[in-house]
Amino acid sequence: MLSDALKKTIRTTHTSIAESLDGYRPRKSQNYLVAEIAKVLAGEYHRSQKICVIEAGTGTGKSLAYCLGALPLALAKKKKLVISTATVALQEQLIEKELPFFKEHSGLDFKFDLVKGRHRYICVHKLNSALDEDMMQMSLVPTLNSPLSEQEKNCLVALQNAYQNKQWQGDRDSWADTIPERVWNLIACDKHACQRQMKSHHLCPFHLARQKMAQMDVLVINHALLLADLELGGGKILPEPDETFYVIDEAHHLPHITRDFSSAAATIKGTLDWIEKLLKFSQKMANAIVSQKAIGQNFKLNDAANDAAKDLRSVRDLLDQADFNYNDDDTYRFEHGIVPEQLTIKAKDISDATLDALRALNRMHDALTLDVSDGDVTAFLADPLLAESGQYINRLEQLQKLWFSYASKGDSIPHARWIKRLEYKNHHDHLLCDCPIEVGYYLKDKLWRECAGAVLCSATLSALGTFDHFAKESGLKGEEGVQFIKANSPFDYPKQATLHIPTTDKEPTDKAFSDFLADALPKYLDRTKGNLVLFASYWQMEHVAKKMRLKNWQILVQGEFSRDALLKKHKSRIDSGHGSILFGTQSLSEGLDLPGAYLENLVITKIPFAVPTSPIEEAQAEFVTSKGGNPFLSITVPDAAKKLVQSCGRLLRKETDQGKITLLDRRLVSKRYGKAMLDTLPPFKRQIDY
């Protein structure tokens, strides 16, 4: 329960923050959120499952609300507060603006930091080794196909000098210039080669950052790092889940990122090639290990790797002879995720052999690490071997994950499984892929039932008026104690914006719709203002831009410049008193902040329906149909409704903003699902032509 002392702390903190904010006005919806978050995390709704799902409209001030509602409670109960986001932009906003302000003015004493994945940091030992000629020769095998260019070597020297002179802390994001991918892969920290128990790695930036993390009260991370920790069992990278309150901002991304994390893929010929290299490498590694046990593990590794290779060759022959009906994208999807019996049998053998190889290599890796710690083998000799074995361990883990899934028959979790045929100049290959269709069970088992509490928030979590779609995707459907909360935006939508649906000559499904857009769009644009036009496809956007430019329209088109450069050009035109027209696709409908004069006229060309062309989307639709459902109404329409809300959300960013939205898709008024979508949009003043 929420004690009187905690209630007082929250009220006092809220007052201190309010007094420090310029032009602060009390917002009923924000006050409501603060109270609900605190009550949920204090266990007032459920003693053990302390979770709330919040849809907070633009301008609600949700980041301030979850800091006010969650942080005093976390400090009082000695829990860590982990804030996870989907975008770098929000992380930067929290670290550079929101949390420093909150700390300065809240009266609360807390420490916070940004936590990044291991691969964002250099390994100092690797950096120094990369510039050592002898060491470089040893390191070339696992990481580079050809020697570094002069420019790449110069980059390495600059990085080393900056780090040694304490002008750089050793993380990729704080380096002002671009670090080439080949250079970074050579020096990046990795879990197998860069281990804290080894003296040569004690001062690596990653390990220093992790030591610092233990002293923090608030940690800002991204969803990928959260899932990486969950995959390791929780509490391996981040604090233990049962000692943590999680705030998952931009939570609408979580199910899709979880799905990507749970997928696996591997080629046949490509795998055979690296297994052959692994067999040669394992002998080199065994020779370096002092312990006699390495000999036995090397034999086991060789036997298992040879067994896996033999079965993979059988699969290669099987796929070459199979009469699969590949589509235009050279992809064949197994219906309902069911693979042929012959392939299932081989998959079981490959999965078992890969697991045996993985265990043997892990033992050899641990033995060499121990030898270095004991001083029996020098780090100079061991580090390149540990780096290379780490790469093989990662590959074996991915391979085992794929083939274990292909060997699983009749599992209760539906999977999409498919093969992509790869054609090269002198040979061909097959890429086998696997991805679970539903990941709610994973989040339920690994996170919701383990954590001390969780707040999930976003501007778009409901679809067509309910949270059902998101609750099912995220594993929260039917869970006891979960609170679903809607906090309305403080915007006066009818006064601030008009939503216009004009009559159109062509339906979006008509082949001539793109040409219609090129002719009709000029009517809905204002050359003197900030305009944004959102398209459903790159092809359509470029087609319309090309035709309009022939009529002397000045247009900034997504893809012709980087996102940052595009927005700078757009803002520069507005700042200099001219209008600007920005063309973009769905990716610009989220996370784009163009307040005030930067955007006063928004045109959405059509409802952003996703076309189910990927094997995962096809498998999802197939699964829903097999259960007697309608995939269009249960997946496609809710997803499109959320995207449409996001698109419309670009117009009003502040309570002083004004503008107009034009929707050129008549299905919003002619179709039953369209009317349901229209009702989920904010209550703009409506102008519907007939």
485-525: per-residue pLDDT in tens?
A: 999 888 999 999 999 999 998 999 999 999 999 999 999 99
Predicted confidence (pLDDT) at residue 141 exceeds the cutoff of 50: no
Highest mean pLDDT among 130-139, 203-212, 267-276, 368-377: 267-276
Question: First-to-last CA distance in the chain?
Answer: 56
What is the model's pLDDT at position 411?
64
Predicted confidence (pLDDT) at residue 390 exceeds the cutoff of 50: yes
With bands split at pLDDT 50, 70 and 90, how would you rate the model's confidence at 117? Answer: confident
Q: Comparing 314-318, 412-416, 434-438, 667-671, which segment has the lowest mean pLDDT?
A: 412-416
Q: How many helices (H) and strands (E) does the chain have?
A: 27, 18
Selected from 1.10.3470, 3.30.310, 1.20.120, 1.10.287, the CATH number assigned to the domain covering 272-433 reads 1.20.120
Distance CA 195, CA 201 (A): 6
What is the model's pLDDT at position 136?
46
Handedness of CA 615, 86, 483, 227 (dihedral sign): positive
Tell me the mean pLDDT in the region 290-298. 85
- Token reading at 625: 């149909």
Neighbouring CB atoms inside 10 A of 233's CB total 11
What pLDDT, in 10s, does the model give residues 183-202?
888 888 877 767 665 665 66
Distance CA 315, CA 402 (A): 14
What is the model's pLDDT at position 133?
56
- Token reading at 389: 């074995």
Tell me the mean pLDDT in the region 295-307. 94
What pLDDT, in 10s, does the model give residues 636-686?
999 999 999 999 999 999 889 999 999 999 999 999 999 999 999 999 999
Highest mean pLDDT among 90-94, 596-600, 654-658: 596-600
Q: Comparing 127-131, 424-428, 442-446, which segment has the lowest mean pLDDT?
A: 127-131
What is the model's pLDDT at position 203?
73
Domain ranges within the chain, ordered by starting residue: 4-110+217-250+459-487, 118-208, 272-433, 493-688
Provide the β-strand partners of residue 114. 220
Give yes or no on whether 4-110+217-250+459-487 and 493-688 have one common fold. Answer: yes
Q: pTM for the complete prediction?
A: 0.86
Tell me the mean pLDDT in the region 529-545. 95
The enclosing H or E element of 203 equals: none
Handedness of CA 146, 150, 155, 160 (dihedral sign): positive
Residues 493-688, CATH architecture: 3-Layer(aba) Sandwich (3.40)
What is the model's pLDDT at position 144?
57
With bands split at pLDDT 50, 70 and 90, how would you rate the model's confidence at 472? Answer: very high
What pLDDT, in 10s, does the model give residues 391-406?
899 899 999 999 999 9
Percent above pLDDT 90 for the chain:
64
Helices marked H in 551-636: 563-575, 615-626, 631
What is the model's pLDDT at position 198?
64
Predicted confidence (pLDDT) at residue 571 exceeds the cutoff of 50: yes
Tell me the mean pLDDT in the region 228-241. 91
Q: What is the average pLDDT score of the chain?
A: 90
Amino acid residing at 414? P
| CA-to-CA separations, 441 to 226, 240, 262, 679, in angstroms, rounded | 16, 20, 12, 31
Provide the β-strand partners of residue 582. 532, 556
Closest residue by Cα to residue 391 from 63, 679, 142, 97: 142
Tell me the mean pLDDT in the region 50-55. 97
- Token reading at 327: 């589509």
Predicted confidence (pLDDT) at residue 589 exceeds the cutoff of 50: yes
| CA-to-CA separations, 361 to 20, 156, 197, 299, 446, in angstroms, rounded | 58, 31, 19, 11, 28
With bands split at pLDDT 50, 70 and 90, how would you rate the model's confidence at 138? Answer: very low
Q: Are 573 and 580 in contact (CB under 8 A)?
A: yes
Neighbouring CB atoms inside 10 A of 290's CB total 13
What is the model's pLDDT at position 286?
93
Q: What is the DSSP string of 515-560?
A: HHHHHHGGGG--TTSEEEEE-S-HHHHHHHHHHHHTTT---EETTS
Q: Are 17 and 421 in contact (CB under 8 A)?
A: no
Provide the β-strand partners of residue 499. 661, 686
CATH number 3.40.50.300 is the correct assignment for the domain at 4-110+217-250+459-487: yes
Residues 8-18 as b or e (16 or more Cβ within 10 Å = b): ebbeebbeebe
Closest residue by Cα to residue 677 from 669, 686, 685, 689: 669
Q: Are 133 and 204 in contact (CB under 8 A)?
A: no
What is the model's pLDDT at position 558?
95
- Please give the annotated binding residues for [4Fe-4S] cluster, written as ranges: 123, 194, 204
Lookup result for tokens 């649906």: 501
Tell me the mean pLDDT in the region 295-310. 95
Instruction: State residue 220 phi and psi, 5-degree precision.
Output: -105, 125
- Token reading at 8: 């007082």
